[in-house]
Amino acid sequence: MRDGDRVVDRVVEMLKEPVRIDPVLDRRVMAELAQVPAPRRTTGIVALTGWLVRKRTIAVSPLGGLAAAAGIALAVLAGRAWVFPTAHHEPALTTTAAVSPGADTRAIQFVVLAPRASSVTLVGDFNDWDETATPMSRAVGNGLWSVTVPLAPGRYRYSFLVDGNRWEPDPEAPRALGDDFGRPNSVVTVGGS
Amino acid sequence: MRRGLGLSLIIAAGLAGGSRAPAAAQEPRLAGRLPDPVRVQVDALLDSARAAGLPTEPLVDRALEGASKRADGVRIVTAVRRLAGELGAARDALGLESSPAEVTAGASALRAGARAGDLHRLRVLRARQSVTVAAAVLADLVAVGVPPDTAAAAVIALARSADDATYLAFRRNVERDVALGASPVAALGVRLTATGGATAEYPGPRKP
Amino acid sequence: MGIEGVTESADATLVRRVLAGDTEAYAGLVARYRDRLGRYAVRMLGNQADAEEALQETFIRGYRSLGRCTEPERFGAWLFGILVNRCRTAGAQRARRDRTVIADEAAMARAAVWDESDRHAWRETIRWALGRLAPAHREAFLLKHVEELSYEEMVGLTGASVPALKMRVLRAREELCRLLQEVERA
């Protein structure tokens, strides 16, 4: 065995020695967790996987900035289905895009953190971009707004309208590419059979 | 391009003609949402798209989005026209037998930066299977930061063997890796290898 | 590790309990993995303070994303992946923060007295030498030799290919040898 290998072996031997971290870390972690929403399993009937919090969108989201400062995590969205439909639907001219609950729809929940907003509405392809159609409700005691919408399988662009005049994309969702009107949108894909 | 000229003629007629505009079918959802001159132009675009066999739902949505965001008429018409062009290009690349969902997803892929040739290859490689999910995943990969050429190459590499569920799992995994701090291209490469998709068609990211 | 005197629940059990609403159960996972993950963090980042910060962030993020841990039985490996990423970010930040330029590396090496029986000095020397490695090389070296992962597992954690990882490990070994033999010769 070469000298070099012996040296490296001794290095490795020392590096493998256990390290002791001050157990006070446990209390610090648990204390911080008290301010974090409880995680929920994101498998189940409706959702196949949850949205992931993307590091860069946390930094740039104006709504999330407040949350970060307060040490409150952005809400993890539950209830998102991800499988794109294999059933094709041929939209007729007279069909409205607004979806009413039917056999083929999934309940999709949209959540956003906006503690200083006085109103938040969900606007997108599924409600004909009508800003009066889907107002969101604020949970008591915190800045979380949410609404659950029945959606037929498909892919929808959407955005949040805050206080009637400010468009905010969903910090938890992928961006729609190429925004035509100067304000970016998000995309949600709903599974089908 | 023939299609573009056709649209221009219709729009010109609409603008010039006022009450003599061709009686295009009117999309009821635009009523009250768009100023009349804008609405006429958009209806004309919808009419032309319909005549060409393209899905109109995405176009209506785009116009309504513009209305909701109080965009000016020119911008709305431009956006609708641009999307109509992408739908047409997607349908050209994917073939006349393509379903509305495939064409719409193809248009998203083109908007993301894929080339018509990429869509065509997807169609060829997937034979009888739908390309909707493959094209949608391409757009989604670009949305998390994968360069368009690389995303297209990856999706094409999977085209022969992957079913829709595999494509979606692949996309979820890449998104998850990126969220945990991996670079998009690295995450793509790792997940592609894991899916067994690394082939001669995708030896790795293309150099710009 | 683990909580003495208490029947140890498997990771999967604790994960499921947390997801069912029992937040306190997460403390068991923290206690179980604190030192184990701490070892990698300390070796990678070079000091206890940075390591503890990275650990805390890792545990928090692990909790937040717990619903996406698809294999609760492999919670430890999953959490380790989060730690590796955290350390990468932390390392980059640290590099920007302290740009101490060591004017004379040889003098620095000599300053760590090379004495076979002086384990403290030897540890310091190793820590210094490890810190001289490029982060990617240090990471690969630690994952391969200290954490004893397979190259395939390392691909999943780093996004690099097996050949690239082998190269990094080789470079790390060569550089460590060079640095430590310099110390010996000094």
Q: What pLDDT was estimated at residue A100?
A: 47
The answer to whether residue B69 neighbours chain A at the CB level (below 8 Å) is yes
Per this entry, what is the length of chain B?
Answer: 208
Q: How far apart, in whole angstroms, are the C-alpha atoms of residue C186 and residue C108?
A: 10
B164-180 per-position pLDDT tens digit: 888 988 988 888 888 77
Contacts of C159 in chain B (CB under 8 A): 177, 182-183, 186-187, 189-190
Q: What pLDDT was estimated at residue B49?
A: 93
A45-61 per-position pLDDT tens digit: 333 333 333 333 333 33
pLDDT-wise least confident of A1-15, A22-36, A95-109: A95-109
- Tokens for B199, please give them: 């082939």
Q: What pLDDT was estimated at residue A94?
A: 28
Query: What is the interface size between A and C, counted as CB pairs within 8 Å?
Result: 113
- Tokens for A45, please give them: 């009937």
pLDDT at A99 over 60: no
Residue holding tokens 């909701």? B68
Query: B122 with B109: CB under 8 angstroms?
Result: no
Q: Tell me what the mean pLDDT of segment A179-190 comes to.
A: 84
Containing H/E element for C48? Answer: helix C48-64
Residue B202 within a domain: no
Residue B27 within a domain: yes
Q: Which fold does the domain C101-186 belong to in CATH?
A: Arc Repressor Mutant, subunit A (1.10.10)
- Residue with the larger pLDDT of the pair A189 and A96: A189
3-state secondary structure of B122: helix
The answer to whether residue B95 neighbours chain A at the CB level (below 8 Å) is no
| Chain B: closest CA distance from residue A151 (Å) | 15
The answer to whether residue A98 neighbours chain C at the CB level (below 8 Å) is no
Contacts of C161 in chain B (CB under 8 A): 189
Do A50 and C67 make contact, defined as CB atoms within 8 angstroms? Answer: yes
- Percentage of residues in chain B having pLDDT higher than 90: 54
pLDDT at B205 over 50: no
| Chain B: closest CA distance from residue C117 (Å) | 42
Total domains in the fold of chain B: 1
The answer to whether residue A7 neighbours chain C at the CB level (below 8 Å) is yes
The answer to whether residue B93 neighbours chain A at the CB level (below 8 Å) is no
Contacts of residue A162, Cβ cutoff 8 Å, sequence gap at least 6: A63, A114, A117, A119, A120, A168
Residue B200 within a domain: no
Query: A152 with B38: CB under 8 angstroms?
Result: no
pLDDT averaged per 10 residues, chain C (length 186): 51 90 91 94 89 93 91 91 90 52 40 46 80 91 95 90 94 90 62
Please enumerate, as own/partner, the contacts of B38-44 that have beta carbons within 8 Å and a separation of 24 or more.
Answer: B38/B73, B38/B76, B38/B77, B40/B14, B40/B15, B41/B11, B41/B14, B41/B15, B41/B73, B41/B77, B42/B76, B42/B77, B42/B80, B44/B7, B44/B10, B44/B11, B44/B14
pLDDT at A189 over 80: no
Q: Tell me what the mean pLDDT of segment B106-132 comes to.
A: 92
Contacts of A40 in chain C (CB under 8 A): 19, 67
Query: A131 with A164: CB under 8 angstroms?
Result: yes
A116-141 per-position pLDDT tens digit: 889 999 999 999 999 999 999 887 66
For residue B37, the enclosing domain spans 7-195
Containing H/E element for A151? Answer: strand A144-151
Query: What is the interface size between A and B, counted as CB pairs within 8 Å?
Result: 116
When pLDDT is cut at 50, 70 and 90, the band that residue A82 belongs to is: very low
Mean pLDDT for all residues in chain A = 69
When pLDDT is cut at 50, 70 and 90, the band that residue A97 belongs to is: very low
Q: What pLDDT was estimated at residue B131?
A: 93
B12-65 per-position pLDDT tens digit: 444 444 444 445 567 888 988 999 999 999 999 999 999 999 999 999 999 999
Answer CATH for C1-100 from 1.10.357.10, 2.130.10.10, 3.40.1280.10, 1.10.1740.10: 1.10.1740.10
Substitution target in B190, B191, B192, B202 with the highest count of C β-carbons within 10 Å is: B190
- Percentage of residues in chain A having pLDDT higher than 70: 63
pLDDT at B75 over 60: yes
Q: What pLDDT was estimated at residue B198?
A: 56
Q: What pLDDT was estimated at residue A71?
A: 32
Q: What pLDDT was estimated at residue A42?
A: 63
pLDDT at A167 over 80: yes
- Tokens for A85, please give them: 């439909």
B-chain residue closest to C88, CA distance: B181
pLDDT at A68 over 50: no
Contacts of A154 in chain B (CB under 8 A): 101
Instruction: Choose the closest CB to B111 out of A94, A125, A177.
Output: A177
What structural domains does chain A harbor? Answer: 3-39+61-81 (no CATH), 93-190 (2.60.40.10)
Q: How far apart, in whole angstroms, are the C-alpha atoms of residue C37 and residue C29?
A: 11
Do B190 and C155 make contact, defined as CB atoms within 8 angstroms? Answer: yes
pLDDT at B117 over 80: yes
The answer to whether residue A3 neighbours chain C at the CB level (below 8 Å) is yes
ipTM for the complex shown: 0.80
| Residue A159, phi then psi, degrees to nearest 5 | -155, 165
pLDDT-wise least confident of A1-5, A78-82, A109-113: A78-82
Mean pLDDT for all residues in chain B = 83
Contacts of B102 in chain A (CB under 8 A): 88
| Chain C: closest CA distance from residue A66 (Å) | 18
Q: What pLDDT was estimated at residue B165?
A: 84
Q: What pLDDT was estimated at residue A102?
A: 57
Q: Where are the domains of chain C?
A: 1-100, 101-186
| Residue A119, phi then psi, degrees to nearest 5 | -150, 145
